[in-house]
Amino acid sequence: MKVQEARYVMSNSDYQKCPEPDLPEYAFIGRSNVGKSSLINMLTEKKSLAKTSQQPGKTQLINHYLINDLWYLVDLPGYGYAKVSKVEREKWETMINDYLHNRQNLICTFVLIDVRHSALTADLEFMAALGEAGIPFHIIFTKADKLKPGQVANKVEEYKQTLSELWEEVPPMFVTSAEKHEGRDAILKTIETYNQSFEKTK
């Protein structure tokens, strides 16, 4: 898939105020500071489409971007550590859960994991909740350029082993580097395939 156009549409704290659910939608989420904004900018080839920050918790709303006038890329607030109050965190969690459970045109959620880390409880719990709710998701490992290729392979294998102990079936996985544009084609191809299925069901 060639991304010819990517534009910001709107930000909301309420899934019911998001754009009309008439196009396929893909959500991107991960722990704070996982490299989500950099990944989104890499996928769309727009350097500042999503605002990057060294400060965790930059994304605080449900952000919709329209790609090629065909599908929505949705940037969700991170979970886990962020320098905000407990009340604010709980508000984010409610907003994210309402969106994930009720957005009817959400085709797949991409859960971002920093490949340098072993499986973290926050990530495993979040994915378990998705699985229990029957919400389809894929895993995207970020920051692969921070390790040697052999180390990346070992980390991914280690993660698969952890998940296989918890899950009957391990979700699809992608290894990415925003710096090197690694993994971009594979993710966009997957989205394109889903888009075609969405068209057939309309």
Residues in a beta bridge with 121: none
Residue 51 has pLDDT above 80, yes or no: no
Number of domains in the chain: 1
Query: Does 24 map to a domain?
Result: yes
- Please report which confidence band the pLDDT of residue 58 belongs to, taking 50, 70 and 90 as the band edges: low
pLDDT digits (tens, 9 = 90+) for 67-84: 999 999 999 988 875 566
- Amino acid code (one letter) for 7: R
CA–CA distances in Å: residue 56 to residues 62, 132, 197: 16, 28, 36
Answer whether residue 118 is part of any domain.
yes
C-alpha span between 127 and 139 (Å, rounded): 9
| 162 assigned to some structural domain | yes
Q: What percent of the chain has pLDDT over 90?
A: 81
Report the Cα 199 to chain-centroid distance in Å: 22
Provide the token pair at 87: 């009340």
Compute the distance between CA of residue 72 and CA of residue 193 in angstroms, rounded to an integer: 15
Task: Determine the structural domain holding residue 106 and report its residue range.
Answer: 6-201
Name the pTM for this structure.
Answer: 0.93
Average pLDDT over residues 89-99: 90
Average model confidence (pLDDT) across the chain: 92
So what's the pLDDT on residue 33? 85
Q: Which two tokens stand for residue 118?
A: 């072993």
Task: Let me know if residue 48 belongs to a domain.
Answer: yes
Give CA 202 to chain center in angstroms.
25
Written as six digits, the tokens of 13 are: 């704290």
3-state SS record for the chain: CCCCCEEEEEEECCHHHCCCCCCCEEEEEEECCCCHHHHHHHHHCCCCCCCCCCCCCCCCCEEEEEECCCEEEEECCCECCCCCCHHHHHHHHHHHHHHHHHCCCEEEEEEEEECCCCCCHHHHHHHHHHHHHCCCEEEEEECHHHCCHHHHHHHHHHHHHHHHHHCCCCCCEEECECCCCECHHHHHHHHHHHHHHHHHHC
Q: Which two structure tokens, joined as six digits, stand for 125? A: 């719990």
Report pLDDT digits (tens) over 16-39.
Answer: 999 999 999 999 999 988 999 999
Chain centroid to Cα 75, Å, comes to: 7
Residue at 1 is within a domain: no
Query: Once rounded to an integer, what is the mean pLDDT over residues 151-172?
Result: 96
What CATH code is carried by the domain that includes residue 151?
3.40.50.300
Query: Which band of pLDDT confidence, cut at 50, 70 and 90, is reported for residue 15?
Result: very high
Is residue 41 assigned to a domain? Answer: yes
CA atoms within 13 A on the CB side of 4: 4
